[in-house]
Amino acid sequence: MTTVEERLAALEDLVRGLRDERDISQLIAAYGPLVDDGDATGVAGLWTEDGGYDVDEMSMSGRTEIEAMVRSDGHQGLIANGCAHFLGPAHVTVDGDTAIATCHSLLVVHRGPRPDEAKPKSRFIVARATAHHFTLVRTADGWRVAQRTSRVLDGRDEAHLLLGNGVRGVR
Amino acid sequence: MTTVEERLAALEDLVRGLRDERDISQLIAAYGPLVDDGDATGVAGLWTEDGGYDVDEMSMSGRTEIEAMVRSDGHQGLIANGCAHFLGPAHVTVDGDTAIATCHSLLVVHRGPRPDEAKPKSRFIVARATAHHFTLVRTADGWRVAQRTSRVLDGRDEAHLLLGNGVRGVR
Amino acid sequence: MTTVEERLAALEDLVRGLRDERDISQLIAAYGPLVDDGDATGVAGLWTEDGGYDVDEMSMSGRTEIEAMVRSDGHQGLIANGCAHFLGPAHVTVDGDTAIATCHSLLVVHRGPRPDEAKPKSRFIVARATAHHFTLVRTADGWRVAQRTSRVLDGRDEAHLLLGNGVRGVR
């Protein structure tokens, strides 16, 4: 026979697990909207103070470098032209105070009318499809990204592997 | 010492919060499939009776106007040609009986073969990338959209701001 | 008056429902990353042993046929060139030990530089937008896909209907 006390403890465990996954999903779902709004502090605050973000040729370490990327001419130019950093639903695996997550993203950018168009129209193109692998840690302020590794899905093995490892809960 | 009664009450609060967020995520996840299926009543039923939907040049007020949009020649033409109103995972912030949510969407449309193609093929283009900001309210029938504001991500400041404010929980 | 016992039982029901939906969402969110990584066993393991996957002209029955699709030259060629099977957030309806879910997907593929380009650049195109309808069952190992039906969103009625029926909880 299971006592009320035991049932309550089991339920508390289960609910904490659901809450952890919810928190992590929301953290990742916040990235695209914040980075498209150019909210450098908000974006960097998704990471731990010394968290890392390694994306192809560029590797950032700590919130200051992540903020600088959001404030860079390159990123601000994307925003000024119109862009969507569109992340998919994250697959999340929690293990105590750390977690692994993965998702795809599409960088969709706006292109204005071409000069020679009879009937000018704006259009959107998929500039990049990217694989993301997140290592997350539980901090006093909630879950934060400790390391994010992102690779363009142009056929390089490491990009596809980030996705598979992310689902398999492997770092 | 925390009593069973206190632990149960704390857990009930936490679970109600998770359920609210789940309900809102599902409500928003229902929009794309229902609107692509042309289910005018289903789409309009995601809003409150007098809910608003303000999308660039067009502003709808109340379920009747939202139903009319789904039934319009413009929308029915999209469906007949093939389309995906593809919304991303929503970021949701619940505050009592109201909530704020945000997500991106892509409108992907099908284009048939071009007349001069040697090897005819169908293709898909991203016709629009859009920012969405939802204000939701708890009703007797569950969560419903009170106001949805959508702006094309073509560089206009208000579009990017909808995303940032959505995550920051600002109306 | 509601007793502690009754409150606990109500909460257990609610939490089990949330966990079921979480499990199903995660199962579906695992598909894209695993299939892009070419993990044939991992992909097939999302289905029941005799589960079905019916996608336009191709119909697979059982894990062995699903594994063969992942290992096929066609799919391996997509991976080698770079691709993203990008699924949207699933709408999930649980009814006891079965469930219905639906989502969109985009197949985004990488295209290398064109031979005649002055300034070579890689690009991505949306090769397909697809509607998915899942019937899921609870097994001893957790939720698995019993049947997945997928149709390209090129205007054919059955594709749009899969989405609407998915949200309405209809098979």
The pLDDT tens digits of the residues spanning A59-110 come to: 999 999 999 999 999 999 999 999 999 999 999 999 999 999 999 999 999 9
State chain C's mean pLDDT as an integer: 95
- The closest CB to that of A167, out of C33, C38, C122, belongs to C33
Whether B1 has a pLDDT exceeding 70, the answer reads no
- The closest CB to that of A124, out of B21, B128, B163, belongs to B128
* Residue carrying the six token digits 């698995």: C144
Alpha-carbon gap, residue B28 to B102, rounded angstroms: 9
| Predicted structure pTM score | 0.96
Q: Give the pLDDT band (50/70/90) at residue C1.
A: low
* Residue carrying the six token digits 């204000």: B135
Report the residue of chain B nearest C2, measured CA to CA: B5
Contact B65, B47 (CB under 8 A): no
Q: Identify from C86, C105, C122, C125 which residue to disrupt to test chain A contact, counting A C-beta atoms within 10 A and taking the largest count.
A: C86
Closest CA to A137 of A78, A100, A97: A97
- Cβ contact, residue pair C164, B123, below 8 Å: no
Strand ranges for B32-122 from DSSP E = 47-55, 58-61, 83-87, 91-95, 98-111
Alpha-carbon gap, residue B139 to B45, rounded angstroms: 12
- The closest CB to that of A167, out of C30, C80, C112, belongs to C30
Q: Give the pLDDT band (50/70/90) at residue C127.
A: very high
How many residue contacts between B and C have a Cβ separation below 8 Å? 114
The pLDDT tens digits of the residues spanning C103-119 come to: 999 999 999 877 777 77
Q: At what angle do helices A73-81 and A63-71 cross, to 10 degrees?
A: 50
Alpha-carbon gap, residue C69 to C71, rounded angstroms: 5
Closest CA to A48 of A143, A134, A170: A143
- Cβ contact, residue pair C88, A91, below 8 Å: no
CA distance A60 to chain B (A): 22
The pLDDT tens digits of the residues spanning C6-45 come to: 999 999 999 999 999 999 999 999 999 999 999 999 999 9
pLDDT at residue A1, as a whole number: 67
Q: What's the Cα-to-Cα distance from A66 to each of A90, A105, A152, rounded to whole Å?
A: 21, 18, 19
- Cβ contact, residue pair C30, A152, below 8 Å: no
Q: At what angle do helices C63-71 and C73-81 cross, to 10 degrees?
A: 50
ipTM for this model:
0.95
The pLDDT tens digits of the residues spanning A20-64 come to: 999 999 999 999 999 999 999 999 999 999 999 999 989 999 999
Q: What 3-state class would DSSP assign to A66?
A: helix
Closest CA to B79 of B115, B33, B44: B33
The pLDDT tens digits of the residues spanning B98-150 come to: 999 999 999 999 998 777 777 777 789 999 999 999 999 999 999 999 999 99
Q: What's the Cα-to-Cα distance from A123 to each of A4, A57, A139, B106, B107, rounded to whole Å?
A: 60, 28, 42, 12, 11
- Please, which residues have CB within 8 angstroms of residue C141's CB and are 6 or more apart in sequence? none
